Amino acid sequence: MEHILHFGLGSFARAHLLDYTADAGGWDVTGVSLRSTAIRDGLVEQGYNYVLCVQEMGIKKIDILRDVLVAADDPQAVLEAMAEAKIISATVTEKGYHLDAKGVLDLNDPAIASDLAGHGPRTLIGFLAYGLAGRTRPVTVMSCDNRIENGDVLQAAVARFAQAAGLIIHWDSTRFPNSMVDRITPATTDSVRKMSGDIMAVPTEAFREWVIEDDFAGPRPDWPGVQFVTDVAPHELRKLRMLNGAHSLLAYAGLACGFTYVHEAVTDPDLRDLVEQLMTEAGNTLPASVKGQAPAYAKALIARFENPQLVHRLDQIAMDGSQKVPYRFVGTLRAGRADAVVEGIKAWIAFCISETHADRRLNDPKASEITEAVHSDNPDAALLELVGAVDLFELIVES
Ligand code: CS2
């Protein structure tokens, strides 16, 4: 049995990487939770097995998780597991990379500064830098997070950390493939737990997609249906600008209209028009190799969003906006005329302002900066500054 060490055992990884790997056969997975003990404690009771509740397909048992380590309890055990693994993968969400507004590792971020000072490590970046330092055996580090150039960004962050910490990494034997990941995975609910009889059950849709840069340092599972390509960028742009851009627009504009779920917001005629317009605008910015797929992709996305069985909360999508807005909206806007995307950014700004005025702290790693921006002399400009788009002030705010 070959082995993957995976950082971040949230629902998405359990519905995507683990599902594909279970289908491939011949590989198992050790999970690492960076801080929380909840997933380990929930899963250990059931031998690390859990079920996926796949819409239209039913219950699927996933039994390839071998162990769950909690990094905060025992960082040394994680570093030892890293030394053995041929593939180290990660889904720690956008904020787990600790990047600044320009997309560069923020050495002043408290968690990164603490890892650099040698207390820990506690972050994915710190673990990778210390765990890879001095290693000569080949290893593939595979980001499965939903962001542009996820592998390149992760490698750059680890390199910056290693340089600051004086660690030597043998880059020749280390690969960081980029990938595009997709499967809508709403947070689990009591009714899913009850229906499946598993307190750790993960609800997800039938659709799944994974495109990976064919750049591995060693063996990899034979994941069924995965596309291995030389350039993932066109697929990332298609997915992030169209699917995730539309999701974020529905979240901010939909919450403002009083909706709770994606399937409700997307059936509102005005929001539906706006979302279709955003997908058309985003599709127009795509590289030639995938541009032709955009209309059919948009149609398929609308059908996925309309699925009432998914029960996907808009407030789940609205969280961490400071991390998502840059590549879901701002990138599209820089690539071409996009009026519906402008509406999306305005809806995010309005969301930040109304939540702050209602005294609700945002679920966002930049929550304090957002509060400060909202209370500043020019909230629009200050908020745009946080997502690296203050130069687009006139286009966005004065349009
Ligand atoms: C969503 C994504 O929560 C969000 O921000 O837009 O998690 C989305 O469901 C996935 O990227 C789909 O693959």
22-41 mean pLDDT:
97
- Domain boundary pick from 230, 261, 282: 230
| In a shared domain, residues 141 and 154 | yes
CA 182 / ligand 1 centre spacing (Å): 8
CA 210 / ligand 1 centre spacing (Å): 14
| In a shared domain, residues 35 and 184 | yes
| In a shared domain, residues 238 and 222 | no
Reported confidence tier of residue 119, pLDDT bands at 50, 70, 90: confident
- CA distance linking residue 15 with residue 199, whole number of Å: 15
Describe the strand order of the beta sheet including 227-229 as a list of residue ranges.
179-182, 209-213, 227-229
CA 184 / ligand 1 centre spacing (Å): 6
pLDDT number for residue 74: 96
Of 143, 184, 208, the one to substitute when testing ligand 1's pocket (max ligand atoms within 8 A of C-beta) is 184
pLDDT number for residue 105: 98
| Residue 182 alpha carbon, nearest atom of ligand 1 | 13
| Residue 186 alpha carbon, nearest atom of ligand 1 | 9
Reported confidence tier of residue 120, pLDDT bands at 50, 70, 90: confident
pLDDT number for residue 328: 97
The number of angstroms, rounded, from the C-alpha of 366 to the middle of its chain's C-alpha atoms is 16
| In a shared domain, residues 361 and 268 | yes
| In a shared domain, residues 88 and 116 | yes
Of 317, 320, 327, 348, the one to substitute when testing ligand 1's pocket (max ligand atoms within 8 A of C-beta) is 317
Reported confidence tier of residue 28, pLDDT bands at 50, 70, 90: very high
Q: Return the DSSP state at 300.
A: H
% of the chain beyond a pLDDT of 90: 98
Q: Would the pLDDT of 234 be above 90?
A: yes
> Considering only CA atoms, which residue is closest to atom 6 of ligand 1?
244
pTM of the model: 0.97
Give the DSSP H/E element, type plus range, for residue 52: strand 50-54
Mean pLDDT taken over the chain: 97
- Domain boundary pick from 230, 245, 276: 230
Q: Would the pLDDT of 399 be above 90?
A: no
The dihedral over CA atoms of 247, 147, 69, 83, expressed in degrees to the nearest 10, equals: 160
CA 93 / ligand 1 centre spacing (Å): 10
Structure tokens at 72: 């905060």
Contacts of 225 (CB under 8 A, 6+ apart): 20, 208, 210
60-66 mean pLDDT:
98
Structure tokens at 132: 């890879």
**Angstrom distances, CA of residue 350 to CA of 181, 207, 257, 346, 374:** 29, 32, 12, 6, 10
118-135 mean pLDDT:
96
Residue pair 122/98 in contact by the 8 Å Cβ criterion: no
| In a shared domain, residues 183 and 59 | yes
pLDDT in tens, 337-360: 999 999 999 999 999 999 999 999
pLDDT in tens, 386-398: 999 999 999 999 8
pLDDT number for residue 192: 95
pLDDT number for residue 102: 83
Residue 89, domain CATH: 3.40.50.720
Q: Would the pLDDT of 101 be above 90?
A: no
pLDDT number for residue 41: 97
Q: Would the pLDDT of 186 be above 90?
A: yes
- CA distance linking residue 205 with residue 25, whole number of Å: 22
CA 83 / ligand 1 centre spacing (Å): 32
- CA distance linking residue 184 with residue 4, whole number of Å: 23
CA 92 / ligand 1 centre spacing (Å): 13
- CA distance linking residue 98 with residue 113, whole number of Å: 11
| In a shared domain, residues 208 and 242 | no
| In a shared domain, residues 244 and 133 | no
Which residues line the pocket of ligand 1, CB cutoff 6 A? 146, 182-184, 244, 247, 316-317, 324
| Residue 185 alpha carbon, nearest atom of ligand 1 | 9
145-173 mean pLDDT:
97
| In a shared domain, residues 202 and 215 | yes
CA 264 / ligand 1 centre spacing (Å): 17
Domain range holding 58?
2-230
> Considering only CA atoms, which residue is closest to atom 13 of ligand 1?
182
Contacts of 290 (CB under 8 A, 6+ apart): 234, 235, 237, 238
Fill in the amino acid letter for 163: Q
Domain count across the chain: 2
- Domain boundary pick from 197, 230, 263: 230
Residue 355, domain CATH: 1.10.1040.10
The 3-class SS string of 320-350 reads CHHHHHHHHHHHHHHHCCCHHHHHHHHHHHH
pLDDT in tens, 280-325: 999 999 999 999 999 999 999 999 999 999 999 999 999 999 999 9
Q: Would the pLDDT of 164 be above 80?
A: yes
Of 247, 316, 324, the one to substitute when testing ligand 1's pocket (max ligand atoms within 8 A of C-beta) is 247
| In a shared domain, residues 256 and 322 | yes
| In a shared domain, residues 106 and 133 | yes
| In a shared domain, residues 122 and 206 | yes
115-139 mean pLDDT:
96
pLDDT number for residue 169: 98
How many CB atoms lie under 10 A from the CB of residue 77? Answer: 15
